[in-house]
Structure 1
Amino acid sequence: MTQLPLRAQLASVLGRTAATLSRVTGRGDGSVIGGRVGLVLEPDLLKQLARDRKLALVSATNGKTTTTRLITSALTELGEVATNAFGANMPAGHVSALSANKAAPYGVLEVDEKYLPEVLDTTGASVVCLMNLSRDQMDRAAEIWLLAQKWRRALSGKPTHVIANCDDPLVTWGASTAAKVTWVAGGQRWKEDSWSCPECGGPLDRKGADWACRECTFHRPEPHWVLDDDAVIDPRGDRWVLDLQLPGLANRSNGAMALAVAEAFGLHVQSALPRLREVTSVAGRYTTVQRDGRAARLLLSKNPAGWLEAFDVSNPSLPIILSVNAQGPDGRDTSWLWDVDYRILRGRPVYITGERRLDLALRLDVADVPFQLCESFTEAFNAIPPGRLDVIANYTAFQQIRSEFGRAV
């Protein structure tokens, strides 16, 4: 990288100092406050830190943090990689990530869907990975059709290489203005937000993985990469068994996207895949924590599509704790609970907690799912006999639970 201007160097140093103080005093990991301090001192800091690096931006409603981690692991085969590993996915977090590793020639940044146009314009990233769009934090975010429209406008006229999931019609529409697109058939289990054509509003006809608008020419493009059960078929027709340590179909889809991004960086599947297999947990997700004879696996789920994937990973023979908050990072509107089909939990011991446990209790009662209401996670945890259990929590509830176990990573 070229030398940063003096003002940018000072902003970067003071930002890292603020981040360190935040960690030392136990206020957080410093990934946000450090970037905010840097941006106050030098508003152009993100652009300057991004200069001369090859960057990938990763955006989606679900799976951003995990896919960012997988891509980062793959690209370490090429050299040092700067990344926002713990999900601080707005410009302040990006500044912190790039400032923490100024010498890294590569960067992989998770980006909030709403901020993608701004971050792409600022950084000039050469690769963008787009995976899925569904309802999330409706009190904060716009309708997802509007987000896809913002993506279209942001990508139009730019030389960016886009890696996009062609099984999601909204992602396909959002990516289709890009100069170069590599299409990945990564799957789409949650279809409730994409039954209408984003181009004309007409109904989408679906047959297996294929989809097409009944009233205009908008249709699923031919994929270059295909997720085929437990394997990925690359553009040359070669089939590679993923064999990831991260569980579930969603993570196999994340792995397929990561391999396509790695190849866009010039890294062949044969070199990238072993690196993906090294990832065992992501910012606490899928980690198993132990206490008092109990082993709890931690699963994060923030919206209806995410709960569907969490149920896929969860073990139906085990007790389960569900925890829901409604703080700012979660979105304060919990009406989305009614879009989740909780009947899959019938027949297993269910314990519910979190700040909005009564909202969740009503939803389970209507779904005819027996449960035990608990005042705290600790109460729920102690109510379960020793052995294994699953925990599904939304964002701030998940972070609180991680803190109880020393923020297991």
Structure 2
Amino acid sequence: MKFLLKLIRFYLLLVIARLIKLAITMRNQTSGTSFIGMVMLKLYPDFLRHTAKYIKKEKIAVTGTNGKTTTAGILSHILETQGNSVIHNEKGANMLTGIANTMALSIYPFKRFDYTVLESDEAYLSKLYDYLDTNYLIVTNLFRDQLDRYGELNTTAKKIQEAIDKNPKIKLILNADDPIVVNFQSLGDEPPIYFGFEDIQFMEKDIESKAPMELFNCSKCGKVLKYKKRFYAQQGHYYCDCGYTRPICEYSATAQIYNDYSIIKILHDDKEYELKTYLTGVYNAYNVLAAVVMALELGYEDLQSSLDTYQSVFGRCETKMIKGHKAVIQLIKNPTGASEVLKTVNTDNDILIVINDNYADGRDVSWLWDADFELLQGASKRIITSGVRAYDMAVRLKYAGIDNVKVIPNINQAILAITREAKGDITILPTYTALLEINKIKK
């Protein structure tokens, strides 16, 4: 009887979720990506516990500092194009309320899905596993990100390991090139599955990474790790004089990075897979590799057609028309990710940088000084800075040797200004809440 009452309560909440969504739509307003989930958890804290039975095959989570939205998006698209039904929090709402929001609007009482692909914030993964475990966890990387919110990297790593410990049957898909990620271990019998790059080549322009590199101590003896190869930030082939070294990868890859696409070759069990992706940059090569490795683990091998039809997700190399101009929108949120994004910016475009310091962005914007904005020194047109910290961004550009800068704090006015001045394409580099504001006005 108690179970029946809980089930009825769950079904009623699904109805309430859709009624809220309908009311919001009729008023031509947006609920964001978490409001309905917040209501669900407020009315029934165990709401997420009831969602697991609606997944027939596998539940997959993706976490890490950078790349989790893109990795989850690619994987979800691959699974869908292979004929599967997938629940995926595609808008990047990756805290508990955002995941509940996605589940509430996806699930129907008598419909089951093949997979769920859930991007999870690093700090909220443990809370997610209190209610909904997953069969697989992909960890992309760990970089400095919003230190005022999460503290040092070791603190974030501990939060992820705590989550893993709650789910002993989990299978870990780990980036072997990251010396922190590689240390995650499951309490169960399943050994981690490692992926990584053996070599990365820039075929048209060779840009040496200047992204800040964290110094990491060997997990065996405590000495500072050394590198044979470094691909970006701390990712690469690390080793220690004590004998500790990067693990052998079940999926080893090479990448050829061109201006407009990349060729990735993956070797697994003496079989090679060659794939072309139109997502550019080293960081996206890692994202594609992580998603493809997960797909291969699930038994899907014919993946090129899926990659060909993949469209960039919200704010990640997203291309939109804004007031008659093609705009490339790339989220920046920490020094490592921003530095890699800046490598891909076309400096012939009109450039708008929008920096906010709201909670979701991180209050501490000192990371601007660690990101390699010197890469914009070749900008042929004036750069506009906007957002709450527009003046901080302008000062950072001045110290980068870039003087042709205009400050327009109001984002709407900045969009109008750049679209009036631009003769061609536009590049917009926003932080997260700035991206949300731009998304409301860009059409």
TM-score (norm 2): 0.84
Question: Partner of 2:232 in structure 1?
Answer: none
Residue 276 of structure 1: how far off its partner (Å): 2.7
Matched, 1:21 2:14: no
**Does residue 165 of structure 2 align to residue 153 of structure 1?**
no
Structure 2 SS opposite 1:403: helix
- Give the counterpart letter for 1:320 in structure 2: I
Distance 2:37 2:390 in 1: 34
Q: Identify which range, 356-365 or 92-101, moves more after superposition.
A: 92-101
Give 1:240's aligned amino acid. Answer: Y
Instruction: Determine the structure 1 residue equivalent to 2:425.
Output: 388
Q: What is the correspondence of 1:267-282 to structure 2 with a 5 Å cutoff?
A: 267-270=299-302, 272-282=303-313
TM-aligned CA deviation for residue 43 of structure 1: 1.1
Question: Conserved in 1, the CA contact under 8 Å of 2:62 and 2:137?
Answer: yes
1:328 equivalenced with 2:359 (yes/no)? yes
1:366 aligns with 2:370: no
- Give the whole-Å Cα distance in 2 for the aligned partners of 1:121 and 1:227: 35
Secondary structure at 2:118 match in 1? strand
| 2:342 aligned with 1:315 | no
* Distance in 2 (alpha carbons) for counterparts of 1:26 and 1:142: 39
Alpha-carbon distance, 1:10 to partner: 1.4
Query: Closer, same or farther in 2 for the Cα pair 1:368/1:213, shift >3 Å?
Result: same
| 3-state secondary structure, aligned to 1:279 | coil
Q: Which residue of 1 aligns with 2:100?
A: 95
CA shift in 2, pair 1:58/1:199, >3 Å: farther
Specify which of 205, 212, 237 is matched with residue 239 of structure 2: 212
- Of residues 346-355 and 233-242 in structure 1, the stretch that sits farther from structure 2 once superposed is 233-242
Q: Could you report, residue by residue, the CA deviation over 1:341-384 in whole angstroms, capped at 9, with x for unpaired residues? A: 21111121322222101111111112212232231422541463
Q: Which sections of structure 1, spanning at least 5 residues, go unmatched?
A: none
C-alpha offsets along residues 116-152 of structure 1, whole Å, 9 cap, x if unaligned? 1222342120011100111111121132211112222
Query: What is the CA–CA distance in structure 2 between the aligned matches of 1:211 and 1:355, rounded to whole Å?
Result: 39
Alpha-carbon offset, residue 175 of structure 1: 4.4
3-state SS of 2:103 partner: helix
Specify which of 40, 43, 46 is matched with residue 44 of structure 1: 46
Instruction: Tell me which of 316, 332, 340 is aligned to 2:371.
Output: 340
Distance of 1:120 and 1:281 partners within structure 2: 28
Q: What amino acid is the match of 1:159? A: K
2:217 is paired with a residue whose SS is coil
Within-5 A mapping of 1:232-243:
232-243=265-276
Q: 1:390 to 1:199 in 2, by over 3 A?
A: farther
**TM-fit CA distance, 1:52:** 5.3
Residue 228 of structure 1 corresponds to which residue in structure 2?
Answer: 254
Structure 1 position 58, deviation (Å): 0.6
Mapped contact 1:168–1:194 kept (Cα < 8 A): no
Shift of residue 49, structure 1, vs aligned partner: 0.6
The answer to whether structure 1 residue 163 and structure 2 residue 173 are counterparts is yes
Q: Which moved more, 1:86-95 or 1:181-190?
A: 181-190
Residues 236-255 of structure 1: matches in 2 within 5 Å? 236-255=269-288
Alignment size in residue pairs: 402
After superposition, the Cα gap between the structure-2 partners of 1:366 and 1:223, relative to the gap in structure 1 and judged at 3 Å, is: same
Confirm or deny: 8 A CA contact 2:170 2:186 kept in the other structure. Answer: no
User: What amino acid sits opposite 2:117 in the alignment?
Assistant: V
CA RMSD of aligned residues (A): 2.5
CA–CA distance in 1 between the matches of 2:358 and 2:365?
10
Query: Offset of 1:308 from its aligned partner?
Result: 1.5
Match of 2:148 in 1: 139
CA contact (8 A) 1:292 1:386 kept: no
Distance 1:162 1:69 in 2: 19
TM-score, structure 1 as length reference: 0.90
Separation in 2, partners of 1:24, 1:142: 42
CA contact (8 A) 1:160 1:180 kept: no
Change (3 A) 1:28 1:200: farther
Of 15-24 and 206-215, the range deviating more from structure 2: 15-24
Cα pair distance change 1:292/1:114, threshold 3 Å: closer
- 1:122 aligned residue: 131
Deviates more, 1:81-90 or 1:348-357: 348-357
8 Å contact kept, 2:123–2:150? yes
Distance 1:96 1:186, change over 3 A: farther
Identity of matched residues, %: 28
Please give the alpha-carbon distance, in whole angstroms, between the structure 1 residues aligned to 2:267 and 2:143: 27
- Hey, what's the Cα distance between the residues in 2 that align with 1:211 and 1:357? 38
User: Structure 1 residues 292 and 87 mapped into 2: Cα distance closer, same or farther (>3 Å)?
Assistant: closer
Which whole-Å CA distance do the structure 1 matches of 2:326 and 2:391 have between them?
26
| Alignment partner of 1:185 out of 183, 196, 211 | 196
Confirm or deny: 8 A CA contact 1:166 1:185 kept in the other structure.
yes
Work out whether residues 60 and 136 of structure 2, in 8 Å CA contact, stay in contact via their aligned partners in 1.
yes
Instruction: Tell me how far 1:317 sits from its aligned partner.
Output: 3.0
Per-residue Cα deviation, 1:31-65 (whole angstroms, up to 9, x for no partner): 31111111122211112112352210010111111
State whether residues 22 and 30 of structure 1, in contact with CA within 8 Å, keep that contact through their aligned partners in structure 2: no
Where does structure 2 lack aligned partners over 5 or more consecutive residues? 201-208, 230-235, 256-262
Q: Distance in 2 between matches of 1:258 and 1:78?
A: 17
